[in-house]
Amino acid sequence: MKKPGRSYWERELYNQVYDLVVVGAGLTGQSLALFFKRKHPEANVLVVDRGFYPLGASTRNAGFACFGSVTEHVSDMQIEDEAKIIDRIRRRHEGLNLLRETLGDANIQYEEPGGYEIFTDEASYQQAVANIDLCNSWLEKATGVRNVYHATKYEGYPAIKIEMEGALHPGKMVNTLYIKNLKEGVKFRWQNKVKSIDTEEAIVRLEGGITLESKHIAVATNSFTPELMQDVNIEAGRGYVFVTKPVTNLRWKGTFHYDRGYYYFRNIGEDRLLLGGARSIDIEKETTRDFGVNQKVKEHLMEFANDILSLPESWEIEQEWSGIMGFTETKSPVLKKIGSSSLIVAGLSGMGVALGMQLGKEGAGIISNWL
Ligand SMILES: Cc1cc2nc3c(=O)[nH]c(=O)nc-3n(C[C@H](O)[C@H](O)[C@H](O)COP(=O)(O)OP(=O)(O)OC[C@H]3O[C@@H](n4cnc5c(N)ncnc54)[C@H](O)[C@@H]3O)c2cc1C
C-alpha cells in the first residue's frame, strides 16, 4: 500500500505539539500522566503504548502490596547501604498509601489477609530471626510503625509474620487508573510501538512512521527501556506465575514469601492458589525481555507446591503467564532527566506495585518544575 499522507483536516487535528508524551502505559507511566494532568488541567497529555493493553509487568504481576520480607532486606545489604534500604522502604510504604488513596481499596480489591515469610531450614530461620530487630527498626524509621515483623509459625513451618502487608488485583488497579486518566482528559494511543526518541528535539517516532512532537517526554518503559535508550543500565528479569484450579481445603490463606522474595504465593478467592517466582534457579535464561514459560522453573514450582505447600494430589494449574521486570544494579529505580526536557522513570526492580505510583507522581513533579 502506498503511504496515504495526511488530509488538510488530519494535519490540523494531528500535527499538534503535545505538552507531555508518556511512553509506556504501565502503572508508572499512567500515574505520571494522571498527576501531571491534575496539576495542569489545560495540558495536552498523551500516553503511548505498544500493547492493546499494557504489556510489561503492571497487569501481569502477583499483586503483593508489600514493602519487603526480612530475608529480602538482609540480602539487599549486599548491594546497598542501610540509608538507601530505609529510604526504599519509606517509598514503598508511601507509594502503597498513595495508590490506595488515589484508586480506592474497593476498586482495586485491596485486602490485608496477613503476610508471612516461611522457612524450610532452621539455620536460615535463626539467621532471619536474628535480624528481626534490625528490620523492625528500619520499618519504624521509614514508616513510624513498630514491630512489623515477628517470629511465628504457619502450617508447621517456622515463619515471620509481616504486619500491614496487603494484596490487590493488578488488572483492576491499572484499569481504575486508566478510567481516572480518561476522566481527566489524558489521551491514549494503544498498539503503537515507539521506535526511537529524540530527547534533544523532543520527538517520539512510532514504528508506523508517525512522529509526535512534544514539549516534554517521559519514558516509563521499565525493563524495555534499553531498547530505546542504550546507555540505561536496566537488566530484564522474567517472572513466571500460575494460578491453580480450585483446591479442596486450601490451607494457605494470605500472602507468603520464601527465599529472599524469589518465591511468592497467595490465595485467590477462597480456594485458588497463585504461585510464582523461582527465576533464581535458572537466572541466565530468565534474564530476558521475551515472554514465555521456562519448563525448568515451572516444574520446580510444581514440586514446591507438592513438597513444601503439600497441596492435595489432584491439584492442577488453571492458568499460567509471564511478565517482565526491570532491575537496576542496586535495585534503586532510575528517575533522571535526559536531554533538555525529558525524563526517564524505570527500573522498578520487582517492587512496582508499591513504587510505581509514587515514582510516577515524583516524575510529574519534576516535569512540572521545568514549566
Ligand atoms: C510475574 C511478576 C510478578 C510481580 N509481582 C509483584 C508483586 O507482587 N508486587 C510488586 O510490588 N511488584 C511485582 N512485580 C513488579 C511490578 O509488576 C513492576 O515493578 C511494575 O508493574 C512496573 O511498572 P511499570 O509501569 O514501570 O512497567 P511496565 O508495567 O512493564 O510498563 C511498561 C510499559 O511500557 C510499554 N512499552 C515498552 N516498550 C515500548 C515501546 N517501545 N513503545 C511503546 N510502549 C512500550 C509496555 O508495553 C508496558 O505497557 C511483579 C512483576 C512480574 C513480572
Chain centroid to CA 350: how far?
A: 6
Q: Same structural domain for residues 113 and 182?
A: no
Secondary structure (DSSP) of 29-71: HHHHHHHHHHH-TT--EEEE-SSSS--SSTTTS--EE----HH
Q: How many domains does the chain have?
A: 3
pLDDT at res. 152: 97
Has residue 262 been placed in a domain?
yes
Name the stretches of the chain with pLDDT < 50. Answer: none
Closest ligand 1 atom to 323 CA = 53
Determine which residue's CA is closest to atom 18 belonging to ligand 1.
352
CA of 325 to the centre of ligand 1 (A): 6
Determine which residue's CA is closest to atom 33 belonging to ligand 1.
24
Q: Same structural domain for residues 87 and 119?
A: yes
Q: Same structural domain for residues 153 and 80?
A: yes
CA of 348 to the centre of ligand 1 (A): 8
Closest ligand 1 atom to 63 CA = 8
pLDDT at res. 2: 76
Q: What residues contact residue 352 under an 8 Å CB cut-off, 6+ apart?
A: 26, 27, 28, 57, 58, 61, 222, 325
Q: For residue 89, give the 3-state DSSP assignment.
A: helix
pLDDT at res. 181: 98
- Find out whether 272 and 246 touch, Cβ atoms under 8 Å: yes
CA of 248 to the centre of ligand 1 (A): 33
CA of 369 to the centre of ligand 1 (A): 26
Determine which residue's CA is closest to atom 41 belonging to ligand 1.
194
Residue span of the structural domain in which 355 resides = 17-59+171-233+330-370
In sequence order, what are the beta bridge partners of 235? 327
pLDDT at res. 225: 98
Closest CA to 20 of 218, 198, 267, 269: 218
- Most ligand 1 atoms within 8 A of CB, residue of 193, 353, 357 to mutate: 353
Q: For residue 313, give the 3-state DSSP assignment.
A: coil
Strand bridging mode 272-277 / 166-167: unpaired
In sequence order, what are the beta bridge partners of 154? 157
Ligand 1 pocket residue status of 237, Cβ below 6 Å:
no
Span 110-124, pLDDT tens digits: 999 989 999 999 999
Q: Same structural domain for residues 284 and 260?
A: yes
Cell matching residue 203: 520527538
Q: Same structural domain for residues 268 and 127?
A: no
pLDDT at res. 340: 86
Q: Same structural domain for residues 72 and 156?
A: yes
Chain centroid to CA 225: how far?
A: 14
Closest ligand 1 atom to 264 CA = 8
CATH number at residue 43: 3.50.50.60
Chain centroid to CA 117: how far?
A: 20
Span 149-205, pLDDT tens digits: 999 999 999 999 999 999 999 999 999 999 999 999 999 999 999 999 998 888 999
Closest ligand 1 atom to 24 CA = 34
pLDDT at res. 276: 98
Span 22-56, pLDDT tens digits: 999 999 999 999 999 999 999 999 999 999 999 99
CA of 183 to the centre of ligand 1 (A): 23
Q: Same structural domain for residues 221 and 345?
A: yes
Has residue 151 been placed in a domain?
yes
pLDDT at res. 10: 86
pLDDT at res. 114: 86
Has residue 1 been placed in a domain?
no
CA of 172 to the centre of ligand 1 (A): 15
Q: Same structural domain for residues 110 and 73?
A: yes
